[in-house]
Structure 1
Amino acid sequence: MNIIMSYLNTMFSAYPQTPRLLEAKAELHGMMEDAYTSLIAEGRSENEAVGQVISDFGNLAEVAPELGITSELGIAAGSPAAAAPTVAPAAGAPAGGAAAAGIPAAARPTQPADPPVTIAEASGYADAHERTRYRTAIAIALFVISPAKLIWLTSAASEGVIPLASGPATLIGVFALLLLVAVGVMLLISSARELTPFNRLESGRFTPTAEVTAWSRELAQRHERSRIRALQIAVLLWILSPAPLLTAALLNDSPTKGTWVASGVVALLLVVAIGLLVLLPTAWAHTVAEKLDRRGPAPQAEDDDPHSIVGVIASFYWPLLTAIYLGWSFIGDAWGQSWVLWPIGAVLFGAIAAGGGAWESYRRARR
């Protein structure tokens, strides 16, 4: 598979591409593919199988005698150190390490305080994200729709659409809001518990390795098409989500207009939540790759960049929302209902900002 091939390319990149080494590379690839197939047949997940295969065959010095390429590795390296495990240098470091650069041993940098991340650890981390992706997405969607029942019941009760007084209707709506929030929090706690063994990866307390970097990039690339497709659908939904609210507010003159507007707000929240449910479960591999592939200092925050997608949207979004609020309030004399635009607008902008940020991350990764 592609992840195994990418790892092999990294492992052999330090040596000349002689016919014998190319033959050994193909032989090792076959051995790794056979081991991967056996692990999958045993019921291992894809990430677990890849991690185990790379752990078993990932040290070129250990498998060199079996492949009969010990002398080739010694000639390529030019010293007995060829028997040491092959690890690609970090980005920007001199080829061959401190010794090859002529740096005295006393002046060489000390070992990093954080231990390197292993393939097995990285694959377990990816599996945990994949297992919890739907729980996290559902929790966030529940937070978005949690005020929906409160908004609708309050408005419907005040206009006599339902046989409830405003007090009981508000109480029922508050209980529904708290229940949805509680369920969402429980789902997030459950997800966090599964990620607890990988706290050091979540917080960045590790030293990246060439093997894990290649593996994580390949993992993200394999799932990138579905993530971009989901992002396109989600952004489309978020852009169209105000349509029910605007229709109810501007084209409805019935005595129960407030209830229709509240229904439009509920529809907006539902569409935003659906967009999140479409996008978030597909972003797990991209999240894992961003955590494991640390290639430099953190980029400038998207909101601080005036040329970012989020910055461009923000430049006209809030003025437009203000104009809608004032127009609805003055023309429709709806000061008692128009305030709902602000919390809904904030939720919608948060969703758009998340989509814009995901797109910016994708664009940077493609550079």
Structure 2
Amino acid sequence: METIMVYLENMFAGLPKTPEVEHLKQELLSGMEDKYLELKREGKSENEAIGIVISEFGNIEELTAELGIQPVSAEEAVPVLTEEEAYAYTTAKRNAGFWIGLGVLLCASGVAFLIFMDTLFDNYATSAANRSVETGAVLGLIGMFVLIAIAVGMFIHSGMKLERFSHMEKGFQLPYTLKMSIQHSRESFALTYRIAIITGVCLCILSPVFIFAASSINDNYASYGVSAFMVMAGVGAFLFVYYGNIQGAYTNLLEKHQLTVEKKQEVKVVRAVEAIVWPLATAIFLFTGFVYQRWDINWAIFPITGILSGSFSNVYHIMKSKNPS
């Protein structure tokens, strides 16, 4: 049966990826499956059944001519992805997820280090030792910028590693056997992905506990709780990015080439909004913390931003569905 599916994939490789063609393909596959099973019940061997099915259903030109479906031209044809290219892509996405996730963790740790050092010197400095307070802020800033600089280097490194696969944005095809192999890999990874996401969510939800615990001991210790909150949330973000990138690689290979132009535009708009909203949320978090000393409640900025970001994505999708351009 797998031979028949491979043959069918090859027959439709030169046709446009439209709903009409996909519907025709599914109808042919269903008919071929029924015929194959019928021949097997009659006692035909595997090779005999496959040969008869292909001979009876193998002429796709007449069907496409009747339906007015034209093969794609050489300029419009998309390349077929090889097993080596698919493996290299998933490996690159996995590595990029690790470095980007680690970079996010370093950024969060940098902010945590700044808050920790500033609070440490502020709490233990006497009123006459203002220099100690300034030293804490300076050391915290130096540590934060060093960590952020390392993180930015990781982001750039990851982006450059993925540039070699930019041609995949124009579309590609997967051989049937390769598609089934990737599908199996995604199914095997599903449990690991779910556990990682659940763990990351739990870490983010539990991270504010450090703020409450530190505040309950002493109001001056609230900032220490914020530092722990940032690090724990950073670990959660690392899990999201790393395992999300692996899952995203499988999704891109299996589904991305089937996305419509409208869906691709929707993804670009949502990503553009997120690129503005999250840095803005971080800036508000730091401003309200250092200027107004509201570390006890300003952590809520991040879950609120996450809810608003998800809501925007859903609203945009609904509006585009109601008003197609």
TM range (shorter): 0.5 to 0.7
1:296 positional shift: 3.5
Q: After superposition, what is the alpha-carbon deviation per residue over 1:126-149, rounded to whole angstroms, capped at 9, x for unaligned?
A: 122234432222111112221111
Residues 78, 261 of structure 1: CA spacing in aligned structure 2 closer, same or farther, 3 A cutoff? closer
Which structure 1 segments of 5+ residues have no match? 25-67, 80-95, 305-317, 358-367
Equivalent of 1:150 in 114, 126, 148: 114
Hey, what's the Cα distance between the residues in 1 that align with 2:6 and 2:114?
59
TM-score by length of 1: 0.57
Which structure 2 segments of 5+ residues have no match? 9-28, 271-280, 313-325
Between Structure 1 and Structure 2, how many residues are aligned?
Answer: 261
Hey, what's the Cα distance between the residues in 2 that align with 1:155 and 1:22?
79
Match of 2:118, SS state, is: helix
Alignment correspondent of 1:117: 81
Hey, what's the Cα distance between the residues in 2 that align with 1:213 and 1:353?
36
Equivalent of 1:206 in 161, 165, 171: 171
Hey, what's the Cα distance between the residues in 1 that align with 2:44 and 2:175?
20
Match of 1:146, SS state, is: helix
Q: Does the CA-based 8 Å contact 2:109-2:230 persist in structure 1?
A: yes
The percentage of aligned residue pairs carrying the same residue is 15
Residues 103, 130 of structure 1: CA spacing in aligned structure 2 closer, same or farther, 3 A cutoff? same
Equivalent of 1:243 in 209, 212, 222: 209
Higher helix share: 2
Hey, what's the Cα distance between the residues in 1 that align with 2:46 and 2:99?
46
Q: After superposition, what is the alpha-carbon deviation per residue over 1:264-301, rounded to whole angstroms, capped at 9, x for unaligned?
A: 10111111122223343333331112222133432877
Alignment correspondent of 1:338: 294
Q: Could you say what the CA RMSD is over the residues aligned between the two structures, in angstroms?
A: 4.3
Hey, what's the Cα distance between the residues in 1 that align with 2:238 and 2:121?
31
Hey, what's the Cα distance between the residues in 2 that align with 1:105 and 1:219?
38
Q: Does the CA-based 8 Å contact 2:64-2:70 persist in structure 1?
A: no
Alignment correspondent of 2:193: 227
TM-score by length of 2: 0.64
Alignment correspondent of 1:159: 123
Residues 229, 9 of structure 1: CA spacing in aligned structure 2 closer, same or farther, 3 A cutoff? farther
Correspondence 1:273 to 2:229: no
Q: Does the CA-based 8 Å contact 2:4-2:50 persist in structure 1?
A: no
Correspondence 1:187 to 2:154: yes
Residues 106, 261 of structure 1: CA spacing in aligned structure 2 closer, same or farther, 3 A cutoff? closer
Alignment correspondent of 1:289: 250
Residues 109, 281 of structure 1: CA spacing in aligned structure 2 closer, same or farther, 3 A cutoff? closer
1:180 positional shift: 0.8
Alignment correspondent of 1:86: none
Single out whichever of 109-118 and 177-186 deviates more from structure 2: 109-118
Q: Does the CA-based 8 Å contact 1:137-1:281 persist in structure 2?
A: yes
Matches within 5 A, 1:4-153: 10-11=5-6, 14=29, 15=32, 16-17=35-36, 18-19=39-40, 23=46, 71-72=51-52, 74-79=54-59, 96=60, 99-103=62-66, 109-111=72-74, 112=76, 114-153=78-117
Match of 1:289, SS state, is: helix
Q: After superposition, what is the alpha-carbon deviation per residue over 1:171-200, rounded to whole angstroms, capped at 9, x for unaligned?
A: 111111111111112222232333232122
